[in-house]
């Protein structure tokens, strides 16, 4: 889905989800700018590649398969 990413990860209780999101966004931006250097000339440079927002949710009593199915079917729902 354009402009939208779902990532399903398992973290230790000592790892803050916000730190994982920062790392993923940072690494993604570096790889995109390396692969597509012309992006540096656009509005992205200096303002970041992604939005400042993120959503974090916990699985709770839902199975891993249910979460994966939900993520996989999001494109059909959007």
CA angle in degrees (0–180, nearest 5) for 68-31-19: 60
Residue range 4-32, pLDDT digits in tens: 788 888 889 899 988 998 898 889 888 98
- How many domains does the chain contain in total? 1
Q: Is residue 55 part of a domain?
A: yes
Q: If 0-12 CB within 10 Å is exposed, 13-18 middle and 19+ buried, where does residue 67 land?
A: middle
In a domain, 29, yes or no: yes
pTM above 0.95, yes or no: no
**Can you give the residue range of the structural domain that contains 25?**
17-77
Contact in structure between 16 and 52 (CB atoms under 8 Å): no
10 found inside a domain: no
pLDDT tens-digit map of 18-72? 899 889 888 988 898 899 888 777 666 555 566 677 777 777 778 889 888 888 8
Is 58 within a domain?
Answer: yes
Taking the alpha carbons at both ends of the chain, their separation in whole angstroms is: 8
């Amino acid at each position: 889905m354009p402009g939208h990413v779902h990532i399903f990860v398992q973290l230790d209780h000592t790892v803050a989800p916000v730190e994982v999101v920062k790392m993923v966004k940072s690494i993604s931006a570096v790889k995109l700018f390396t692969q597509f250097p012309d992006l540096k000339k656009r509005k992205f440079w200096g303002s970041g590649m992604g939005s400042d927002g993120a959503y974090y949710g916990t699985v709770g009593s839902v199975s891993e398969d249910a979460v994966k199915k939900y993520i996989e079917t999001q494109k059909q729902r959007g």
